[in-house]
Structure formats: structure tokens, C-alpha cells
Amino acid sequence: MPDLHLTGIVKHYGSVVAVDHVDLHLPAGKFVCFLGPSGCGKTTLLRMIAGLEAPTKGRIKLGEEDITDRPTHRRGVGMVFQSLALFPHLTVGENIAYGMRIRNAPKADTERRVEELLQLVHLPGLGSRNVSQLSGGQRQRVAIARALALDPALFLLDEPLSALDAKLREAMQVELRLLQRRLGVTTILVTHDQREAMTTADLIAVMAHGRVQQIGSPLEIYRNPANTFVADFIGSTNMLPASIAERPGAVWVDGVVFPVAKLPAGVAPGREVTLSVRPEELHLLTGDMDQRGEAVLTGTVSFVRDVGQSVEVFVECGGRSVTVVGSPKEVPPVKAGDAVRVAFPAEACVVLAQ
């Protein structure tokens, strides 16, 4: 199975730039998520890979073959649409068999393959049902089976789970991931839901303003965001304005020296930067608890959100709000108005130059 290469992809709609110079290398057999807010160009990029839109500039290569100008019906892609686009005049089985019928596959082979696919998506024996008789989750599976029927080189999904309720959506995410691992098909999922991307993907391409902001494994992106957009969009984070200290490996935040594990390359002392720390990495200290050599900010608890499973504490530190999250065992019992200290472990402090 070949890799997918996108080189210098640009897409204009009149004067609007939807996709702005995207270069991506998507390795074969991987599950890739295009993640970003609405209007970031992720769906347009997917549609160009499918051949449903033509790029204004740039080339798309599948392995050694340039497929930029190849029409959709000869690209060998399977796609699940946001609306699913199941054909209402056909039964479940006929929907799945549609691609094989176009290719004039022998009837017996088609029937066998349809049954096999129905097994694969856990809908055995439903081939003769009408599409209108299925539930939302079942339709989802039929659309997936139909897209996989022709063993596509690329399996593309355009926010297919957005219409499902939260619980079903989470279950389908896991199922989709397991299915992809089993088949080993190169898969691209477009989503605006970072949890969905974290659940399913080998690689996440975070997009904003028509550009890829960062590409990497889910944890890499979560732990080492490339810029403030990624840090803010993926999960929740505390962002504090900081400046590079003269002392190596440290930054100033509100007159306190913060040792950090890593500094971005080529930043001189005095340079304004942003410090990003995940709420679950922070420690809340009360009374005379030991700070273990970590940098601390002192402040007042403004609000406590205790939902049983986790406790979220909002602390006012010199006019800035810092959020600390932990399990009920980790977080000391505090209430609004308490004076506390927030400790920042050096390895959790990510310094962002932009």
C-alpha cells in the first residue's frame, strides 16, 4: 500500500484562501486525523484528496503515481460523507454492493463480499433491510461497509460521527480504530473533536487558517504543542506570558524564575514568550507543604468544581487565573477564598515562541 504525498497544495474559492500551501506526507497504513475548528480547510483538503475538488496549485501523489488530475471514480478511494449519503432507493445490501455492480463483478462474489462486510461492521443478515429502517448507528456502519467494499487505497471520513449522540460516538470511535487496525487501510478522518482525534489517530494534523499547524502523534501534540494555537485547541491549558531569563533553562513569570526542561531554539534572553502548562501537571500546595524545588505562584482559590471523578480548582494568581485539575486524592481539600500555592514542575512547562 502506497504513501500519500501532498505537495504545496493551495485552494482558492474566488478571493477566499481555503487551503494555504499544505505539504503533508501520510505514511501507508496509518490512521491520520485532520483536526481543526470549522473553516480551517480540513474538509476541503480531504475533498481534494478524494478528487471532489481540484487544487488551485500543488500535486497529490499516491506512491509514485501523480493522481492530482485523476477523476474521483478512478482514484480508488472509499469515502464516508458527513450526511452518509446512503442511497434511499436501495437496500442495505444493494448500497454496499453498488461499487461492485458498477464494476460488473460476478453476482456470487458480490453477495459473498456484502455478507463479509456486514459481518465486519457487526450487522450480519441485515442486507435486505431498507436504509430507512436502520438506526443512526447502523446507518453509520452501512456507510463504512460501502466505502470499504472495493478495498480502497485510501479510506476517507468526513466528520461521519457528528450526527450521533455522545455515547454512541465514543463507542464508534473505538470501533473505527479497531477496524482500521484490522484492515491496515490508510485512513484519513476529518474532525473538529480533539477527543475523537486522540482516540482514533496514529497521527494528528492540527489545522487552522488553511495551514497545518503541527503534525505528530496524539501525545506528542498534547505534550509538546508547536505554538499557542495548538496548545489552546488541544485539551485545556494554562497560558502565562513569560520572558526568557538570563540564567540558562529558565523563564521569568511575574517576577518568579521558572526552570523549564526545554527552550525553543534561537531565543535570546529577554524575549517575550508564552508558557503553557496542562492543568493536570500542576500541584496545589496548602499550608507549609513542601514545594520540592519547583517554581511556585501564590494565589487565592476563586472556585472549585468537584464532579466526583476529578476536581478542578481555579486559582487567582496576581490577576491571572490558573486552573489545576486532579483526582480527589491528589488535590488537597480547599474552598473558595483559601490562600494556596501552585507548583509548576519543570518538565511540564512548555515554552512557546509564537
- Alpha-carbon distance 85 to 139, whole Å? 10
To another protein, the closest distance from the beta carbon of 46 in angstroms equals: 11
Residues 6+ apart with CB under 8 A from 290: none
Residues 6+ apart with CB under 8 A from 103: 150
To another protein, the closest distance from the beta carbon of 331 in angstroms equals: 47
To another protein, the closest distance from the beta carbon of 268 in angstroms equals: 51
Q: Which residues bind another protein (CB under 8 A)?
A: 50-52, 71-75, 77-79, 81-85, 87-89, 91, 98-99, 102-103, 128, 146-147, 149-150, 156
To another protein, the closest distance from the beta carbon of 104 in angstroms equals: 11
To another protein, the closest distance from the beta carbon of 62 in angstroms equals: 15
DSSP bridge pairs for 77: 154
To another protein, the closest distance from the beta carbon of 236 in angstroms equals: 34
Q: What is the CA radius of gyration of the chain?
A: 25
- Alpha-carbon distance 330 to 211, whole Å? 39
- Alpha-carbon distance 50 to 11, whole Å? 14
Is residue 97 within 8 A of residue 49, CB to CB? The reply is no
Torsion of CA 15, 73, 87, 172, to 10 degrees: -80
* Residue whose C-alpha is closest to residue 44's, from 186, 230, 211: 211
**Residue among 77 and 204 whose Cβ is closer to another protein:** 77
Chain centre distance of CA 340: 35
